[in-house]
């Protein structure tokens, strides 16, 4: 049954990485191709979310919670898998509810930042899962200078929390700025 989880995780990884590329393309371009790619974004994110939930569920069926939670790496993998699914679900809902408005002004850069952050989260989640099945990557070497030893650390290190906090504040600031810019444009259109 473990092989099913290993196969299933590749679907959300591929779909969410493709969504990241689509978001980045759309953030830098207003061309016809970028707009066509954007029309596929909500279905792409939806299928990615459904396949992510399926991979998560199969993972829970394969490895009992007592087994996964007995090691820091297992706990971190479960924690990050939960965060990854929730994060991409939030990105889907944001794009779905906001529609084309996410590409107005500075909001496009917020979307680009969110996509990059989601890809980093996805990469770390996949790295931890790979380590659990004996497939080692260089990502764990990159995490080590940030204070995160994948085999022993069960928490998000202070430096990593600080980096997440800084990125979150920057993205919130960009969002507020973009919202004010958008309202200023709407106000100037209605005044004319």
34 Cβ contact list (under 8 Å, min separation 6): 25, 26, 28
- Alpha carbon distance 102, 110 (integer Å): 8
Which among 155, 151, 153, 128 has a CA at the least distance from the CA of 139? 128
Does the structure show a pLDDT above 60 at 136? yes
Average pLDDT, the chain: 86
- Alpha carbon distance 52, 55 (integer Å): 5
Number of domains in the chain: 1
For 34-74, the pLDDT digits (tens) are 999 999 999 999 999 999 999 999 988 887 778 777 888 88
Does the structure show a pLDDT above 60 at 164? yes
For 83-122, the pLDDT digits (tens) are 899 999 989 999 999 899 999 888 899 899 999 999 999 9
C-alpha 144, offset from chain centre: 21
Question: Length of the chain in residues, anyone?
Answer: 192
Greatest Cα-to-Cα distance within the chain, rounded to the nearest angstrom? 65
pTM: 0.78
| Domain of residue 25, residue span | 2-191
- Which pLDDT score, from 0 to 100, does residue 53 have? 96
């Amino acid at each position: 049954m473990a092989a099913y989880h290993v196969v299933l995780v590749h679907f959300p990884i591929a779909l969410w990485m493709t969504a990241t590329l689509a978001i980045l393309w759309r953030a830098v371009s207003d061309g016809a191709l970028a707009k066509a790619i954007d029309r596929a974004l909500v279905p792409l994110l939806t299928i990615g979310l459904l396949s992510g939930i399926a991979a998560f569920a199969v993972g829970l069926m394969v490895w009992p919670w007592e087994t996964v939670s007995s090691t820091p790496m297992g706990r971190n993998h479960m924690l990050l898998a939960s965060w990854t699914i929730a994060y991409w679900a939030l990105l889907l809902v944001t794009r779905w509810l906001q529609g084309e408005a996410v590409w107005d002004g500075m909001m496009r850069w917020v979307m680009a930042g969110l996509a990059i952050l989601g890809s980093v989260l996805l990469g770390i989640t996949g790295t931890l899962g790979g380590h659990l099945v004996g497939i080692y990557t260089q990502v764990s070497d990159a995490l080590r200078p940030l204070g995160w030893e994948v085999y022993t650390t069960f928490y998000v290190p202070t430096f990593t929390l600080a980096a997440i906090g800084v990125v979150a504040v920057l993205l919130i600031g960009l969002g507020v700025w973009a919202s004010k810019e958008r309202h200023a444009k709407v106000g100037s259109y209605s005044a004319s």
